[in-house]
A and B are shown apart, each in its own frame.
Chain A
Amino acid sequence: DIQMTQSPSTLSASVGDRVTITCRASQSVSSWLAWYQQKPGKAPKLMIYKASSLESGVPSRFSGSGSGTEFTLTISSLQPDDFVTYYCQQYNSYPWTFGQGTKVEIK
């Protein structure tokens, strides 16, 4: 199985900050990587697919980059609604695997 490791596990930031979350795969997943946002008590929501493609309706302050084994999710200017948890997921091979999550909290 491909292991996905996110860092940091928790990120403290302020409204307006630029933040970056990293996701590393234990082996290459090419560009087959997605990012999801999850609010407390809610289902995950697709934000980014194929490493850098923005899902329709997702604000442009979110962006993704990377390929192979290292990927990043960047939020260019944190908004109050963004202080939630983010997960990366590889879909290069079975089984699908997720990172452990990164919680973005208010500093």
Chain B
Amino acid sequence: EVKLLESGGGLVQPGRSLRLSCAASGFTFSSYAMTWVRQAPGKGLEWVSGISGSGSDTYYADSVKGRFTISRDNSKNTLYLKMNSLRAEDTAVYYCAKIEVSLEMSTILNYFDYWGQGTRVTVSS
């Protein structure tokens, strides 16, 4: 059974940093690209960042580029999101999700087939 468990959320002041983790189990972690998606209170889903199975390729939404860093440790089956220079507009529930294998080797584009339960990040002074 695929399981994704996020942690690391909390209350943080504007301008500070936070690192989210997503522990994965039930599948061969290194074989799958992974992603972070967030949802601000009462709002819709916003894709944040994605990473290939090897970790060599990373992708970011313009809204977080230069501030957030996605990474993974395949030996620990864990995905990370380091968030720097946090802003009030980063307040959201952050979900990690597994990306189904892409049919093309050169891309990680595909749908998100499993999601974690989310971790809440609140940026406020």
Contacts and interface: CB of A to CB of B under 8 A. Distances in A.
B88 interface: no
Task: Determine the main DSSP class of A at the interface with B.
Answer: loop
Given A94-B59, A95-B61, A46 B47 contact: no
A91 B44 contact: no
Interface stretch (A14-22, A66-74, A98-106): A98-106
Given A44-B45, A99-B44, A91 B111 contact: yes
B79 to A, nearest CB: 15
A9 to B, nearest CB: 10
Given A87-B45, A95-B59, A43 B113 contact: no
A46 B111 contact: yes
Interface in A20-53: 32, 34, 36, 38, 42-46, 49-50
A44 B37 CA distance: 10
A43 B118 contact: yes
A34 B45 contact: no
Interface residues of B, number: 22
B109 A93 contact: yes
B111 A100 contact: no
A82 interface: no
Contact of B47 (A32, A45, A98, A101): A98
B103 to A, nearest CB: 10
Nearest to A6: B44
A101 B112 CA distance: 16
A92 interface: yes
Interface in B62-116: 62, 95, 100, 109-116
B1 to A, nearest CB: 12
Contacts of B35: 96
Interface of B: 35, 37, 44-47, 50, 59, 61-62, 95, 100, 109-118
Given A46-B111, A95-B47, 18 more contacts: A38-B45, A43-B116, A44-B45, A44-B95, A46-B112, A46-B113, A46-B114, A49-B111, A55-B113, A87-B45, A91-B109, A91-B110, A94-B59, A95-B59, A95-B62, A98-B45, A98-B46, A100-B44
